[in-house]
Structure 1
Amino acid sequence: MIVNERETQEGLLVAVCDEDVLGETFAEGEISLTVTEEFYGGDPVDEGAVVDSLARASVANIVGTRAVELAIEEGFVDEANVLDVGATRHAQLLRMD
């Protein structure tokens, strides 16, 4: 998986994607999702690093079947809130303090 972290005024923004979806566009009905290098590009990491990043995130965007499954397994995302977009999955996390 690939993780991109950036600090914002609202806190840590984390973008996570499966490596095989980077640069791809997915569509389902009126929804279109492009996994851009500018937003999602970063360093390939193992699952432990993904979990660490998501644990520190104020906001996270997660794309890819495995990345979303990991976020569900680790309790960051409820499966009922996951979108199936074409051949991939997308979830968002917003932590409010």
Structure 2
Amino acid sequence: MPQLRIRHTQGETLVTICDEELIGEKFEEGELKLEVKNSFYEGKEASVEECINALKEATIANLVGSIVKHAIKAQIINPKNVLRIQDVPHAQMARL
């Protein structure tokens, strides 16, 4: 089940979503590094639907794991903008 965290700061809505089992892990591939820090990604368990609804309200988002494919399907994330580090999908989004 995904972990969802929503923060409101300086007029922005930051949403972080990560597969629960990836929290606390580090991934490296060549020059790419991804550290899935508890302090940044740990939140509450949420359904995919709750996560997608949160992403629709987000001005900034960081996604790690299976939620990336759901965000692509919902047309929130462009598949061309997804990084894979050790086969773990990672995407960021910002609305201007």
TM, length-normalised to structure 2: 0.95
> What are the equivalent positions in structure 2 for 1:77-88 lying under 5 Å apart?
77-88=77-88
Question: What is the CA distance between 1:19 and its match in structure 2?
Answer: 1.3
Query: What root-mean-square deviation, in Å, do the aligned CA atoms of Structure 1 and Structure 2 show?
Result: 0.8
Kept in 2, the 8 Å contact 1:10–1:58? The answer is: no
- 1:23 aligned counterpart, secondary structure: coil
CA distance in 1, matches of 2:70, 2:6: 18
What is the SS of the residue equivalent to 2:77?
coil
Amino acid at match of 1:75: Q
What's 2:48 paired with? 47
> Structure 1 unaligned runs (5+)?
none
Instruction: Tell me which residue corresponds to 2:23.
Output: 22
Q: Which runs of 4+ in 1 moved over 2 A?
A: none
What is the aligned partner in structure 1 of residue 69 from structure 2? 69
- SS of the residue 1:77 aligns to: coil
Separation (CA, whole Å) in 2 of partners of 1:78 and 1:34: 22
Deviations 1:57-91 (A, max 9, x none): 00000001x11101101101010110011130100
Gaps of 5+ in 2: none
